[in-house]
Structure 1
Amino acid sequence: MSSPAVAVVDAQTPGNVGTIARAMKNFGFEELLLIDPPELDRDGEAYGYAGQAREDVLPRAREITLGELVSEFHTVAFTSVTNEDESKHVRFPYVTPAELADELAPIESRTALVFGRERVGLTNDELARMDQICAIPASASYPSLNLGQAATVALYELRDLAIEDTQLPERPRAEQREIEGFYDHFEQLLEAVDHPPEKRQKTMRLIRRLIGRAHPTGREITTLRGVIRRAIDRRDD
């Protein structure tokens, strides 16, 4: 598989962007995506903290929107706060970085590892748009990591995805646009079967998490979309 991209949402300080770029260089990651970034002055903190990443990773960083991110990539959001049971679906179910590494190794897809703000991380609305949730295990008495720490730990755990050739056979994953199309069809199905409007948003989050963990192939997504279309058509008859 290709090395995952690293996306940073609304970083407050240039120094943390530089720290993440350095960690990427340490562990073999190359593609840095920035959403609402601070100004990155070549004579400022970002380039000062980036080490050798100032030569390639940082200057090649691409600024995009959150909407572009979720439409182009299979997204894995990193958070230090989780829901501990299945009654809530914004931050559950989640995997650890080590579990994520094993899961992504055989998957052939464009994946983005998404990190949020220094103080509050990713919002619930942003997390609801992500395909998977990943949390770094830490002491219950102080589980919060700062942005640079979280990215460094996560990228270390995932380094085999970037710097070592896996011996596992690759399993092609459906294009992200095909999966987003499936979500559109599933929303239409909820409307067609008169699913309670107040439950639709939560149901879509649950479905997104389910599909995010399944890593379906293109044929599987096409089949599911065909079944949904037939169900909608029958409902309309």
Structure 2
Amino acid sequence: MSERDAAGDDTAGDGAAGGGHGDREFVVVVVEPETPGNIGTIARAMKNFGLSDLKLVDPPEFGRESEAYGFAGHAREDVLPNAETVTFDEVVDTYHTVGTTAITGEDARRHVRFPFKTPAELRESLATVDTDTALVFGREGTGLNNEELERLDELISIPANPDYPVMNLGQAATVTLYELRSLFLDGYQLPEVEHERAPEHEIERFYEQFSAFLGQAESREHKRTRSERLIRRLVGRAHPTSKEATTLTGVFRRATDLLERADHSERERADGDR
């Protein structure tokens, strides 16, 4: 993750939650942010993914007319105005701390930046742990330094292009909070069921209609058999909805009818020519 860290997305919602499931508390800490705009971006990402407790170590001054509020979206109403200025020592003394870094050690010989987890791995490890946790992001230009990293409990790093792994502060926080969102949110704006497969009798009706179409369009039996097998595999993977299955059935029914009429007309012409 970042040697610049943190976050910001554009889908601010009205229903951002607090700071964790049950009694656990999750907070976001930004160490010496350099620009108010990045503070606002991080606050917005927090609102997107269900966090509300923002803590700042040596932040720049910013007011309601600053970029911080301009970039914060709906987070200007609660996350940003309630942000608390703290010291790094207070964070380390109060929370289980997770630092972010783009530059990692490859093995235990560089133990300051090794071992580390990806955000997804951190999500899995924290899912059943009852501990108040601080997600700590560093400066835009240099991230967290080695002295700070040495005092943190865990490190995470976002998998990225090895030729350019350093993300800006807003990107790193957005990606991290997105990956960890299930730790903060009990639900999303998305429906629980994204896709409902059509009943099997509707899908079988489509297969029957497709077979009838092939009876008109393909005279070679081995080709028809292979095509029927392939379409069954394709539709089986696609999990069509009821609307999709009935629409496809209708399309192939019309195509079959057209082929039958064309064949009938051709036979009539042939009979007339005799």
| TM-score when normalising by structure 2 | 0.59
Show CA shifts across 1:91-114 (max 9, x none).
100000000001111111110000
Paired residue for 1:164, among 178, 186, 189? 186
Q: Shift of the alpha carbon at 1:164?
A: 2.1
Name the counterpart of 1:90.
Answer: 112
SS of residue paired to 1:114 = strand
Show CA shifts across 1:176-217 (max 9, x none).
xxxxxxxxxxxxxxxxxxxxxxxxxxxxxxxxxxxxxxxxxx
Paired residue for 1:65, among 68, 87, 108? 87
Name the counterpart of 2:39.
Answer: 17
Paired residue for 2:102, among 58, 72, 80? 80
Unaligned runs of 5+ in 1: 166-237
Instruction: Report if the CA contact (8 A) 1:3-1:161 is conserved.
Output: no
Distance in 2, matches of 1:33 and 1:91, equals 23
Q: Shift of the alpha carbon at 1:66?
A: 0.4
- For the pair shown, which has the larger CA radius of gyration, 1 or 2? 2
| TM-score when normalising by structure 1 | 0.68
Pair 1:104 & 2:126 matched:
yes
Distance in 2, matches of 1:45 and 1:87, equals 42
Unaligned runs of 5+ in 2: 1-20, 188-274
Name the counterpart of 2:152.
Answer: 130
Code of the aligned partner of 2:167: L
- Percent identity of paired positions between Structure 1 and Structure 2: 58
Paired residue for 1:144, among 166, 176, 184? 166
Distance in 2, matches of 1:103 and 1:53, equals 28
Deviating above 2 A after TM superposition, structure 1's stretches of 4 or more consecutive aligned residues are none
Show CA shifts across 1:60-119 (max 9, x none).
111100000000000000010100111121110000000000111111111000000001
Name the counterpart of 1:118.
Answer: 140
Code of the aligned partner of 2:156: C
Q: Shift of the alpha carbon at 1:3?
A: 4.4
Instruction: Report if the CA contact (8 A) 2:102-2:158 is conserved.
Output: yes
Aligned length: 165
Distance in 1, matches of 2:62 and 2:151, equals 27
Code of the aligned partner of 2:43: A
Q: What is the correspondence of 1:136-215 to structure 2 with a 5 Å cutoff? A: 136-164=158-186
Distance in 2, matches of 1:143 and 1:161, equals 25
Code of the aligned partner of 2:28: V
Over aligned residue pairs, what C-alpha RMSD do you find? 0.9
Name the counterpart of 1:41.
Answer: 63
SS of residue paired to 1:130 = coil
